[in-house]
Amino acid sequence: MSEAGGPVFIGSEIYRGSSYGLRHPLRVPRVSTVMDLARSLGWLPQARYRTAPRAKPAALTLWHDPSYIEALQAAEAGHAAPDTLLSFGLGTLANPVFPEMFRRPATGAGGVILAADLLRDGGCIHVPGGGTHHGMPGRANGFCYLNDPVLGMLVLRRAGVRRIAYVDIDAHHPDGVEHAFAGDPDALLISVHEEGRWPFTGALEDDGGGNCFNLPVPRGFNDSEMRTALDDLILPRLGAFQPEALILQCGADALEEDPLSRLSLSNNAHFEVVAALKGIAPRLLVLGGGGYNPWSVGRCWTGVWAVLAGHEIPDRLPEAARAVLSGLHWGGGGRPPPAPGMLDTLRDPPREGPVRPEVRERLRRLAAR
């Protein structure tokens, strides 16, 4: 369970020194930024921190095909033929070959598996290196070499936790998680994601056999609309389901500054969702996910940890935290520098707006199911 009754943060130094390559959106630092910001604010004492172990291949085959895990290890070692790579979705622009291509996702999965083990008796754990929700049993998919949310849910099941709810507020639909649990009456899957966005799954009519509630939202989706989705979809469905464990995938690519989506949330929307879900189930696991602007993702997930751990987010960051943000960069490309406020604060200005008729209508249709 969470040590001494408080929330636990699971991280790793592997994220500081590894990258998907200079042409990939995941060339930017993310988890290491959260660790550095949280420590600079005094929010990450050693008693609250655990290092993610690297999951062993046998643990990964709880869901992944053994042949795929072997291919992933061989690719990292430089022993896989090009045809073998492509048959497993590896060596592509989205899922490139890079030096830590097995060790890094295996560490993310190991952190989530550790969290699931620690949550047997209850508690709250944040694993920002988790949330790779596109991975499939036998292939890499959408930057995701493994599917740590699925592995975490299966480990919880193995520990006797049956009713598990999975909520996903990433800009992209969690096709891998739905592939694993569609039609499972003891799993509730809720996703709020951008319509018309890769992987082009998660249509409003897609109920996964009855246990999946997919809300595709239009570009420009704002804080007011997310609050309405929380009040009209997420909280009522969770209340009716009464989960024994709740997993929240807190992808930061739905924020306005992210280059891979066209949604307009501030990080206040993420903080509100986290705060609302804290008391829903005796076990809460909060994961990272998408997020490709180094400033917005680092600030968002640090604020998520503040909400979970009960820290007040300051109006202005101390110098040590500002230095962390000032030291970030895109790692190449022609992206613009961050707005000055993103270097001085964690909390975005609110991005409220009208709740558009199409959002209300989709929520009404989901409520009628």
| Signed CA dihedral, 37, 40, 44, 47: sign only | positive
Look at residue 214 and give its three-state secondary structure.
strand
Secondary-structure class of domain 3-54+100-367 per CATH = alpha beta
Distances (CA, A) of 9 to 3, 83, 183, 297, 318: 10, 39, 32, 16, 22
CA 344 to chain centre: 25
Q: How many CB atoms lie within 10 A of CB 359?
A: 21
* pLDDT for residue 334: 78
Question: Widest CA span of the chain, in angstroms?
Answer: 54
Q: Do residues 3 and 47 lie in contact, with contact meaning Cβ atoms separated by under 8 Å?
A: yes
Q: Quote the CA–CA distance of 236 and 277 in Å, as a whole number.
A: 11
* pLDDT for residue 5: 67
* pLDDT for residue 333: 73
DSSP string for residues in 89-130? T-SSSSS---TTTTHHHHHHHHHHHHHHHHGGG-EEEEETT-
Question: In the chain, what are the domain boundaries?
Answer: 3-54+100-367
Cβ neighbors of 293 (< 8 A, separation 6 or more) are: 28, 252, 255, 257, 258, 259, 338
Q: Which residues of the chain are modeled with pLDDT < 50?
A: 1-3
Among residues 64, 134, 172, 193, the one annotated as catalytic is 134
* pLDDT for residue 2: 47
Where does the chain have alpha helices with state H?
A: 31-40, 57-60, 66-77, 82-87, 103-118, 148-158, 175-181, 223-229, 235-241, 267-277, 294-309, 319-326, 341-344, 357-367
Across the beta sheet with 49-51, the strand order is 49-51, 8-11, 123-127, 283-287, 245-249, 164-168, 187-194, 212-217
* pLDDT for residue 4: 52
Q: Do residues 74 and 66 lie in contact, with contact meaning Cβ atoms separated by under 8 Å?
A: no
Cβ neighbors of 140 (< 8 A, separation 6 or more) are: 72, 88, 89, 90, 92, 94, 95
Q: Quote the CA–CA distance of 134 and 199 in Å, as a whole number.
A: 9
Active site residue 193: no
Angle between helices 31-40 and 319-326 (to 10 degrees): 160
* pLDDT for residue 170: 98
* pLDDT for residue 3: 45
* pLDDT for residue 301: 99
125: β partners? 8, 285
Q: Which two tokens stand for residue 164?
A: 């598990």
* pLDDT for residue 344: 97
Structure pTM?
A: 0.98
* pLDDT for residue 42: 98
